[in-house]
Amino acid sequence: MLSLTGWVSRGLVLLAMVLTTASIATSGEWGEEGVTYAELGSDVALTCPGGNPSSTTRWQRHGGSGLPSDSRIQQGQLLLSHVDLSSEGTYSCQDGAGLLLGSVALRVGRLPGPPSVSCRASNYENFSCFWSPSVETHLPTRYITSYLSPVKRVGPCVQDPGRPLACTVSKSQFWSLYRVNVTEVNPLGSSFTLLNIIAQRITKPDPPEHVRVEPVPQAPRRLRVSWEYPSSWRKELPFQLHFRLRYRPVLHDSWSMIETSNMSEVITDAVTGLEHMVQVSAKDYLDAGNWSEWSPEVRAWPAAGQVAEPSQAAPDTVELDPPAQEPSLAPDNEPVAGQGDSVEKVATLVSLGVLAFFALVALLLFAFLVWIRAKKQSKEADKHQDLLAAATHLKALPKGQIL
């Protein structure tokens, strides 16, 4: 027995088929009037407009080419066997006196196949689906696109004339299941594809925008990189992005990589005297979906100057050390070496002090509880001793005094 979802899905397909039937009810909607569509390899009978089956009818094809060799005329109709693309053309019919009665255009093609569909969410509010035909039909084609929402509501996946073979579902629920239907329709029939998607799983942001790379003054091994959120991703607290930055000297083949949640980063191991290329990509902060494509590459040179290191090479020698794989630990707004270490030490000392304070409080609380318990036990012991002494005194008195 089918579940409710199964019945609704079948209803969605049925709706698409009804719309399909309505869209191909007349050949005029696919082009000019008087066009006959036929499937490749089929047999076709062309009827003469205004002709009389009982009268003599002659046929010819426009363009100077004669009728197909296996064609024949029967009761005023032109019969074509196993038509192919070469059978296409405009056929005209005449009566016995040579008077033109009418003409018919023949188009030959294939039934559509199920389209190949994929979907992607470039943000957490909308998702888009893209498709491509699986069969070359040689015929005019249209697409019907719809979706089934989590509340079992059927709606249109809106197609944009500026983006062929694509549609968009707006105001989608990020964590919910949607069923998307893409139906391909041509004059011969239709075929569809159903795709179950969850927007959270197909999230793939657009690349970060406005990537800038600048040299750091007096720092020939450093480059400052900054970027902005993609314009298609509205920045809100529950839906942040994190980023990865890759860079390399133009003369090198291997990339170095940094992952960060900031909007800027300082490269600390640039190769002195060499031009570098930099790219940035983005992903949902909670690791949903996939990384975006890389942003267009941006190139920059580190600042000219001497590297203040004991292992500095000669001024006329270019260092070709491979880029380090470790990201920079220096803060973005101050590329001075060593400052990050001092801040880290201060943070460590503060953390240790807080930990010691809580440990001392816990120790004092434990000691207080032990003292309270010991005091209570002491009071109970004294009370018991007093009762025992009273009982002993009564036992020692004469029986007459007790009564």
- Residue-wise pLDDT tens digits, 248-286: 999 999 999 999 999 999 999 999 999 999 999 999 988
Question: How far is the C-alpha of 210 from the C-alpha of 311, rounded, in Å?
Answer: 36
Cβ atoms of residues 117 and 129 within 8 Å? yes
Q: What is the pTM of this model?
A: 0.62
Q: Report residue 344's pLDDT band, with 50, 70 and 90 as the boundaries.
A: low
The 8-class DSSP code of residue 29 comes to G
> Any idea of the CA torsion for 379, 381, 386, 391, to the nearest 10 degrees?
150
- Could you give the 3-state DSSP secondary structure of residue 352? helix
Q: Which CATH superfamily is domain 35-109 in?
A: Immunoglobulins (2.60.40.10)
Q: How far is CA 60 from CA 54, 338, 352, in A?
A: 19, 92, 99
State residue 91's pLDDT score.
92
Question: How far is the C-alpha of 267 from the C-alpha of 258, rounded, in Å?
Answer: 9
CATH of domain 209-300: 2.60.40.10
Question: How far is the C-alpha of 214 from the C-alpha of 332, rounded, in Å?
Answer: 12
**Strands in 250-364 per DSSP E:** 256-260, 264-267, 276-284, 298-300
The 8-class DSSP code of residue 200 comes to T
Return the CATH architecture of domain 116-201: Sandwich (2.60)
Mean pLDDT of 303-318: 49
**Same fold: 35-109 with 209-300:** yes
Please report, for the chain, the start and end positions of each structural domain, with discontinuous segments joined by +: 35-109, 116-201, 209-300
For 11-62, how does the pLDDT look when each residue is reduced to its tens digit (9 = 90+)? 544 454 444 334 433 344 676 678 999 999 999 999 888 777 777 888 888 8
* Average pLDDT of the chain, as a whole number: 80
